[in-house]
A and B are shown apart, each in its own frame.
Chain A
């Protein structure tokens, strides 16, 4: 099976702009989670989507939002970019069954490196 793909791989934006990142999960995986990685804060959970519904959300401001489509592909949007939003954004998919949580391993994409100038 093809792995998790993320586009674009690199982005450069300026403060105040908005950005949309895309993630395609492994075929058959319906759970998609997003993480932000920075040198200062490490790896932090942003949100998780399952069957087009946000199931969990981390402690990030409302400028960070996401959605999931019927084919399980997910997008993440950051509006009004700040310098501190510069980070590696990682998407992960997992095999979560309709009956509930499975606590399985997550499969990560290569990430999108966002630089805000």
Chain B
């Protein structure tokens, strides 16, 4: 079963604009990860944020984590056509395994 929901399910923006995606989850986590998937291919790891961190940056990506609200957001700044993909959050629980529990994903389309 899915850990949580991502919002919005789909997002279309103009190239150069910023894109924000939100993720909510249900249980206590060790860390939360964001992945990108291009059209039916494998997933690419973007960023990992641990439960004791509140914000993390990587290039044009900014991730925040609010454990009290069980939510995270992914911000992509200055979007490019190549950012068109599906984005998934995935949580790792505190229960000692490597299992990723994925959200439902956001389909991002960048309009040139």
Contact = CB atoms under 8 A, between A and B. Distances in A.
7 contacts: A31-B98, A42-B2, A42-B105, A45-B99, A55-B97, A88-B40, A92-B100
Residue among B33, B35, B43, B98 with max Cβ neighbours from chain A (10 Å): B98
Interface of A: 4, 31, 33, 35, 42-45, 48, 50, 55-56, 58-59, 88, 90, 92, 94, 96, 100-111, 113
Given A42-B104, A59-B1, A88-B40, A101 B98 contact: yes
Nearest to A107: B45
Contact of A108 (B1, B43, B98, B101): B43
The prevalent SS among residues of A at the interface is strand
Given A42-B104, A42-B105, A103-B92, A111 B98 contact: no
Residue among B43, B101, B104 with max Cβ neighbours from chain A (10 Å): B43
Interface in B14-37: 30-31, 33, 35
Interface residues of B, number: 25
Given A45-B101, A58-B99, A113 B30 contact: no
B59 interface: no
Interface of B: 1-2, 30-31, 33, 35, 40-45, 48, 88, 90, 92, 96-102, 104-105
Contacts of B102: 35, 42-44
B41 A110 contact: yes
A105 B33 contact: yes
The 9 lowest CB-CB distance pairs between A and B, nearest first, are A43-B102, A108-B42, A105-B45, A108-B43, A56-B97, A110-B42, A103-B92, A103-B30, A45-B99
B98 A56 contact: yes
B102 to A, nearest CB: 4
B88 A108 contact: no
A101 B33 contact: no
Contact of A103 (B31, B41, B45, B104): B31
